[in-house]
Structures are given as C-alpha cells and as structure tokens.
Amino acid sequence: MGTFPFHRHAAMPRTTPHRATILQVAREAGVSKTSVSRYFSDERARLSRDMQSRIASAARRLSYHPNQMARGLKGGRSQLIGMLVADIRNPFSVAVMHGVEQACRERGFSLLVCNTDNDPAQEREHLALLASYRVEGLVINAAGQPSRELRALAAQGTPLVLLDRMLSDFEADVVGLDNTQTIDMALDHLRQQGYDNVLYLSEPVAQASSRQARLKHFEQRLADDPTLRGEAHSLALAEDNRLQDVIAGFLSQASGSAPAILCGNGNVTLAVAHALQARGARLGEIGLLGIDELEWCNLVGPGITTLAQPTDAIGRAAVHNLLQRLEEPQRQAPPKRTHYQARLILRGSTCRPNTPDQYDSVSQERP
C-alpha cells in the first residue's frame, strides 16, 4: 500500500439498491425539492400543515432517507466523529467507547470506530480513512508516536481528544485518570491493609504517557517513604515467562515482609492473576490490587480489589471536549486536561489473612 491508500476496491459491477431521492419525494408529494429539504431540516416548522403531511406520507411511501453523503458534501458537515481504538478487545476501551457513542448520539453525531490492534501502520491507514470521511472530530486511544497523518489532521483544524495518554510533542486535549492520585490511593490502601512491600507491574511504558506517569509516581512514593519497600517493572505481557520470573524474584526477596502486587491496568491484572494461580499463591496472603475494574474480579479466589476508572464519564468527557472545540470560533484555546478519580472497590485480595476481616468481599462492594 502506497502513501495514498485511496484506490477504490476493484470495480464491482452491481445493481445499486434502489433508494428514493429528494426529487422523487418532491414529485410524489407535488412540491419542490426545497420544501422536502426543509421538512427534514430544522426548518420544518416553517412549512404549512398541509405541506408537512403530504411530504410525510410521500416520504413514507417511498421509504425515503436523506442521503448523508450529499448533505455532508453540501454543508461540509459529516455529522461523524471518528474514534481510534488501540485494542478493541480490551474491556476498558470498549467501556469508554460506549460512553463516547452515547454522547455522540445524544448530540446528533454518529461514531466511526477504527481498531488499530496496536499497529502503527493500521493506525495511519485508519486515520487517512477517517479523514476521507471528513469526520468532524477525533477521539484517539492509540499507540505510538503521532503519525504524519495525525499531524496533518490536527494542522487542518480537526479537533482531537486523546484518551488516557498524551503524545509527546503533540498538543491536544487529554481525558483520562488522575494517575498520580490513583497511585496514591493504591499505595495508601495497601499500606493501610498492612502491606509494606509492593511490586508494581506495568505494560511497556514506551509512548504511553499515563503508564509513564503511574510508574514515575510509584517510584517517587517509594523514594519518599523509607518504610515502604518495593520495585517496579514494565514488561510485555506476551512474554509469559518473564512475568513469572519477575514475580518469583520479587517474592523470593519478600520474606519478612507483607508483599503485594499492584497492576497498572486490566491486562496486567489478568496476566498476574494467571501467574499467581500457576504458582498456587493465595490471594490476600500476597496482596493484589488492579487498576481497572473487570467483570470477573470478584470471582477469582476471595475477589480482586480494583481501582475502577469511570469509563463512561471519560468517554462522554472526550466527546464533550470535542464538541466544545467544534463550537469555538477560535480553536487556539490551550490544550485541556480532564482528569478523573478512580474508585476503590474492596475485595478479598487486599485482606491479609491474619488481619481482622475488616472487608467482607461481598458486602463492601458497590457495583
């Protein structure tokens, strides 16, 4: 695929589905195109009763739907928001997407979703595509460096909102978690539960600013607090053995302490849960706290304590910011950071066995 991947697919001869046009409706109703157009716009009120009903029934008879392509072409408004998702099979991404979609619909926009599977090439391809559909704004949850395509879009004035991660050397609104505070909540909770030796595990930090922020603040806390032991690792989850090794290494040095593992996101939590199960470890004895809530967290052992992100709010905020920029005459407002608080969901994995059973895994949970 070349730089401009815009070849159409090899021509397919085919009969186009027959769809009524505004002209046909106009004829059927015995009125002008303009009136029909008005009927389907926000000027409907300016039509006479009679006209309205004639158009309505004609349109219904022909099951007419205004062609958004033509509308978008004429008015420059596609009514489309694009969303780039790094991994559509990640429950967190889907949950945010749900919020994005709802907000879009409420505001009269539709959502064009593209999944990049964390592949920069796909990301570029999709961005070109979204540009070609003239999306009016873009919600981006993507991997890697900002591509040429993304910069071009931004330069053209397409409003952009980044989810969860900033991009280096790239100005745009960002919506996500308050990473510093989240790490604080996590460590405060673990301390309070009696854990004094914490392993922080993250997916590769690379270009993902939120992962960087979490990792950095974790290390900061470690440095600031002499009574807290711990270490941090960032690793690719695909290398299964690596994770086992890291955990084994951590635990082997943990004698005499109360060890806990803090997972940087839902993927890590899943992988760590597998790893701990493979070791036959008992949750609680080894503390486990995951960032991101997952539907199965209270099914595993005594339940896994999590810090839930307000995914719906994040998605909605992204759209909100987008539309705000869209409405602004001057687009030059400085990039806006919207940060949300995580919510602690207490379960058994952060209850030390010898501690009085302060947190019952079921009753304390507020879903």
Partner DNA sequence: TTGTAAGCGTTATCAA
Partner DNA sequence: TTGATAACGCTTACAA
Which residues, 6 or more positions from 310, have their beta carbon under 8 angstroms from its beta carbon? 340, 341, 342, 343
Under rule CB under 8 A, which residues in 11-40 are in contact with a copy of itself? 11-19, 40
C-alpha 262/C-alpha 186 separation (Å) is: 8
Which of a copy of itself, DNA, none is residue 1 near (CB under 5 to 8 Å by kind)? none
Out of 27, 118, 119, 131, the only residue in the binding site for a copy of itself (CB under 8 A) is: 131
Among 21, 24, 32, 79, binds a copy of itself (CB under 8 A): 79
- Is residue 73 near DNA by the rule CB under 7 A? yes
Q: Does 111 sit near a copy of itself (CB under 8 A)?
A: yes
CA distance 123 to 85: 9
Kindly provide the b/e burial profile for residues 293-324, where b requires at least 16 CB atoms within 10 angstroms of the residue's own CB. bbeebbebbbbbbbbbbbbebbbbbbbbbbbe
Beta strands in 68-122 (DSSP E): 80-85, 110-115
Cβ–Cβ < 8 Å for 300, 283? yes
Distance CA 189, CA 169 (A): 35
Q: Which one of the spans 27-35, 70-78, 180-188, 246-254 is the region binding a copy of itself (CB under 8 A)?
A: 70-78
Pick the closer one to a copy of itself by CB: 91 or 194: 91
Tokens 């009679």 -> residue: 50
Q: 238: how many CB neighbours lie within 10 A of its CB?
A: 8
Is 361:298 a contact under the CB 8 Å cutoff? yes
Angle between helical axes of 120-132 and 148-156 (0-180°, round to 10):
30
| For a copy of itself, the closer CB: 158 or 234 | 158
| Residue located via tokens 């009125």 | 31
Q: Which does 48 bind (CB under 5 to 8 A by kind): a copy of itself, DNA, none?
A: DNA
Told to check if 358 binds DNA by CB under 7 A, we report: no
Which one of a copy of itself, DNA, none is in contact with 110 (Cβ closer than 5 to 8 A by kind)? a copy of itself
If one asks whether residue 224 binds DNA (CB under 7 A), the answer comes out as: no
Of 62-70, 82-90, 119-127, 357-365: span binding DNA (CB under 7 A):
62-70
Compute the least distance from the CB of residue 151 to a copy of itself, in Å: 9
CB of 296 to a copy of itself, least distance (A): 4
CB atoms within 10 A of CB 29: 21
Q: Which of DNA, a copy of itself, none does residue 224 bind (CB under 5 to 8 Å by kind)? A: none
Nearer to DNA, 73 or 236 (CB): 73
CB 269, CB 277: distance < 8 Å: no
Q: CA 286 → CA 32, 182, 196, 253, 307, distances in Å?
A: 75, 21, 11, 13, 17
Return the residues of window 249-278 that contact a copy of itself according to CB under 8 A. 270, 273-274, 277-278
Residue from 27, 47, 56, 222 in contact with DNA (CB under 7 A) = 47
Longest Cα separation, the chain = 88
Residues binding DNA: number (CB under 7 A): 28
Instruction: Select from 97-105, 167-175, 191-199, 230-238 the region that touches a copy of itself (CB under 8 A).
Output: 97-105
Question: Can you list the pairs that 237-242 forms with residues at least 24 positions away whose Cβ atoms lie under 8 Å?
Answer: 237/203, 237/267, 237/268, 237/271, 240/271
**Binding DNA by CB under 7 A: which of 1, 46, 61, 242?**
46
Q: How many residues bind a copy of itself (CB under 8 A)?
A: 85
Residue with smaller CB distance to a copy of itself, 280 or 334: 280
**Residues making contact with DNA (CB under 7 A):** 8, 21-23, 31-35, 37-38, 40-41, 46-48, 50-51, 64-67, 70-71, 73-76
